[in-house]
Chain A
């Protein structure tokens, strides 16, 4: 997006009251994965999907591991059932050839596979990809959750990583862990870690033929409901490179062992303390409100996010978080199964939510889809957060039903004053799972990395053309945690306000751009940017430059 002269900016300011930005722009994405060198072969069991693990896919994380200002891509891959069975039987796992991929962003739309050079590998069935500077050394680290043993890769600062899960105190038992989230719940400056658990993998009888269940008249693998759930864990960062399991002490015990998929730290009730939301498959979600004394209270039901507006639990997979209606409160959406809708929970007062999916146009729009990865992002910088969803069914033969299909689109729902409608993108359908948004070329337009359950990933380069402005922030904590997790940025310009927080988690098994990005529409000036650091410090930037990323260090 082009820069403007001050005169032009003044004109835009005058017009901003009546315009939300360039309305002519049609969203345009081009898959550049091949020419960018993003070559990976996604695997998640066999193509026929006889077992539940084969249906869920894996995630992608965005990180700048070498601090060169360009965002790199980490892809976590699944595995095969025979290999998993061998590991469960006690075999020592050897690194899988394609268990992980790290692609270094070379600039100019090119990436280079540096997995081996970086010392990364995964022997297990990979599920979640996450990144955070957990040890506050200025180099972002990697967490890979697995059906197996989770791996924590410390960034050595020289382009290589060392796996330190054992010395960091992560469980060395085999679990089926899924989404993870870093957040500083005790505000000691060290990012803590919540990991969601899905199914107790040992409750699946691999000695027998896979169970066959009926889904609306078609045969498929059996879902989680008759399997024992895997419990979630909260790990407190001790500040010395180790974590301690504080799940019970913090009162976030997943007593029912629900089938957790996605977690996110966010200060939902605006009391200055990060809470935790967990999306659970086939069960009520969790919302753990932070008391500030090291403990939480589960209050999803009372907060209105345990169930949808009908009081019905859904198959919650991914989570999107954002202030889609500009009321200064963060809202959230979960992706769910097909023939059901994705509930949009609007926060109506601190810590209280209302399912507004119908009024937002999302019931009809999302009912055909089975959604996984999701998030809010302003793809055309018109100042409104759009909703993106990576869709794809779990049953390859589901098309027989006529009401849904196995291959589904990657969808973007354009936000027009709080009502969403699907934008035509013309992209190939697939059975998509994890995805992450990031501005890989720093041009102010959010791109997307999308993983299918099998085959090659997509790198959707955003080629949307318009004259809208934008601003981005890259925050670095000093007293607060280095990643500034929990910091809130509010910007004001042209009589409008936008805000967002630096957060980790949400999406689905994936980690999006760690920076904050705001589309400004036709507003050509930001009069003020206020940063509320987790340490309690407030920082104000007057008239920050627009159409660029601004790096801000905590004073």
Chain B
């Protein structure tokens, strides 16, 4: 075990897989010589060479499109899109090609591409460096979608994603790259060494896709969330002085319905939280799933705490971000409902 930030844990996952599997290659903007704008690939090109850690032109559609072809030719590409906000030029390649290749070819062709991309707000990124577009991908058939909330999960889930023969879009909440963040920007930044998720084995291990983590156990309500919001939810629950199940979905697709179900059947009350805006967001799917599975156990309407339905504003970042106060208001709504 050693202490790692999420960046170091992702770097370690890539290092482990580059070492273990000679077919793994990395492709992305600034990832090679420089080591990535967030340093996730730091040192890897030097260690594995320019043929395995490849700097790419600024063309996200080209990165994903060529990664598909690389994958069809027997290699296992991990593509980095520098910000999730930049992934859109590659959407046609993801939606029409990557997600559907196995299906449309009757199982004869597939391409095991993992697309890594930093997402989420809280870094003064404005509307082009703060988005959480996961719902665009969870809606697709043929692709898995993952978002870890701590270094340990990031490494284990990324290794599973790379090993999977199904394509994965792997979102990395960049606000928690260097430390957990509870939603309060005025507090001094915390280090991952203060969090159990910062303990990360140096070698190989994997966490299967499709398993949620119960981060905290309690009886008053179930909070279902993922990414940075896991930490915000924990802080809000502490502040409220209540006892709650906090479930980190981790793997958005495939979704661990059973864990959600067991929790809400126990608590009878449910709050869903994510950074992305509400309408058509992934929270709608979580809410509908809980309703379908647990309707007769519910004692209150399911509450959603999300970003507003505006683009992510630069000047009003902390008014946009669904911080502790919004979660607390949501908790009150759920607990006070008759």
Answer yes or no: are A and B bound together in one complex. Answer: no
